Structure 1
């Protein structure tokens, strides 16, 4: 569980730091667009009031989306706490929870999620923007699908070799 919480903490911190840096320190809120690597990476200010790609942005879903993100985060943390999962499952859970909480903070503070990363390629104009939290949520969800079934090996007590009342039947002790 510790790995999940630390991963979530660092994702949350990096997400909020990058949003502050780009939106406020670089003034993207006023500039609206800034080329970083022309033709490949730019910062485009977008306030996402909906879900992915701005879906349902016309509806006032702020508090419902905050509640949903918190409920999913809590469910993932409970699941990891109970079942453990392997190392990659715990990291994936931290990515998802840290990203979700980063976007929750945006919705509480601004009423929308601050999206600013825009990647284009090969002359195709990508109209969508995203943020570090979105990347973490995506990677965390994919990771939980791929690694969520892994079970961590049960922890053995120091000095306990498995022999005793729970030893396999039909074997003899020396």
Structure 2
């Protein structure tokens, strides 16, 4: 592993984690979204971004949801194992894009795991809409995870083979 890869991935993971937790604190405590319920954030033509509070007790799109504490601890534990696997992948990362993607994934996974262990669910609060189509409610950690996966797919499809 190149030191530059750690120098990219770990600060990015920390940035995602801090941004995620700070945004959840701000939306939940300062904006007091639980009292507001729903608040328009931004509108431009057919596009809209709203604050909408959702407690996600499952994983992506609410899959594998459950109410019990052991269920949330299990999901947080699975995320912990995934973080360990990602850090191993970081150890073997071949380029900066892969390192940055892993950093985004690690920060997002830890941010959502903190929610699970703290509240028993992940606090989602951003709702995007376009042309009447509504996307699921998400948070900063979710956005980082999606962008990290997109970067890994892009890298795997378009990376030039190493010179032999």
Q: TM-score range by the shorter chain?
A: 0.7 to 0.9
Q: Pick from 50, 66, 71 the counterpart of residue 76 of structure 2.
A: 66
TM normalised by structure 1 equals 0.78
CA distance in 1: counterparts of 2:86 and 2:60, whole angstroms: 20
1:129 aligns with: 137
- The aligned runs of 1:64-143 (5 Å cut-off) are 64-81=74-91, 83-124=92-133, 126=134, 128-143=136-151
2:3 aligns with: none
Q: Pick from 25, 30, 47 the counterpart of residue 30 of structure 2.
A: 25
Unaligned runs of 5+ in 2: 1-5
TM normalised by structure 2 equals 0.83
CA apart distance, 1:59 = 5.5
CA distance in 1: counterparts of 2:51 and 2:39, whole angstroms: 5
For this pair of structures, how many residues does the alignment match?
Answer: 150
Unaligned runs of 5+ in 1: 154-174
CA apart distance, 1:148 = 5.8
CA apart distance, 1:140 = 1.1
Conserved in 1, the CA contact under 8 Å of 2:66 and 2:72?
no
CA distance in 1: counterparts of 2:117 and 2:53, whole angstroms: 18
Conserved in 1, the CA contact under 8 Å of 2:19 and 2:140?
yes
Q: Counting strand residues as a fraction of each chain, which structure ranks higher?
A: 2
For the pair shown, which has the larger CA radius of gyration, 1 or 2? 1
Render the CA deviation track for 1:129-170: whole Å, top value 9, x for unaligned: 10010011111122223326969x9xxxxxxxxxxxxxxxxx
Conserved in 2, the CA contact under 8 Å of 1:34 and 1:44?
yes
Conserved in 2, the CA contact under 8 Å of 1:96 and 1:136?
yes
Q: Counting helix residues as a fraction of each chain, which structure ranks higher?
A: 2
